Structure 1
Amino acid sequence: MGMYVSVRGWIELDFAQRPDAERIIGDDPYSGGWGWPAKPFNWTLYLFYGGDVREGALHEIRAQVEQLAALPPVDEDGDRPRGVFVVTDERGQARCWHVRDGVVLDVPAPDFTWLAI
């Protein structure tokens, strides 16, 4: 059957990046885990993800996060998407995906093992 992995987190975007983000998310089978605030406010747009998926499908979600991270800045400030995702599994392991500077860094997250399934 395979092991389940829980993925939850967010990425901060500029409102102008929303159409590109929607294209990246598309209608992938795991797109249902993505969600926007019902009533965005202030100047940052947060795109959230939460879902339990088979370990073999984790690469698909990671690919979406990498594409979102790589979105170019929309203004002269040069701000890139940034965020964090916590990934835990049934073995009790936890990792974090740190989104910054156009890339996704995968680091151990022992402080989050209490979130493991």
Structure 2
Amino acid sequence: MIEVLKTFQIAIKQQGHVLPLLEHINLRANLVCEQKAIQIIIKDGEFFILHDREENQTIPEIRGDLKAMKQLLEGKERLRALERNGQLSISAPLRTTLLLESIFYLTKAQEDFAKII
């Protein structure tokens, strides 16, 4: 999953229409897939990935299998739709969920996957 996240990180930096949405955000979230947690951080217009972190903070969390995470990060499916279908579970306030959904969906990293792979 780290490869998918790194591709998403590259894609988000290339998306001019998404960057204003990130400007004044300070958000941390865990993406949990296959018993591994990867923390994403969005702070002042930047997107960071922290893996191999053992923090027990209470932060928003998205859990699911690799297929669902790829659909989310590639912008192929919306976060709340994946939750409704039972493919992902989300522990975050609605406002945070909507913000994350917007970021993932608007970035549509799948267009960049073909260029990188």
> What is the TM-score with the length of structure 2 in the denominator?
0.33
Which structure has greater strand proportion?
A: 1
Structure with the bigger RCO (C-alpha within 8 Å, sep 6+) is 1
> What is the TM-score with the length of structure 1 in the denominator?
0.33
Task: Please say which structure displays the higher CA radius of gyration.
Answer: 1
Which structure has greater helix proportion?
A: 2
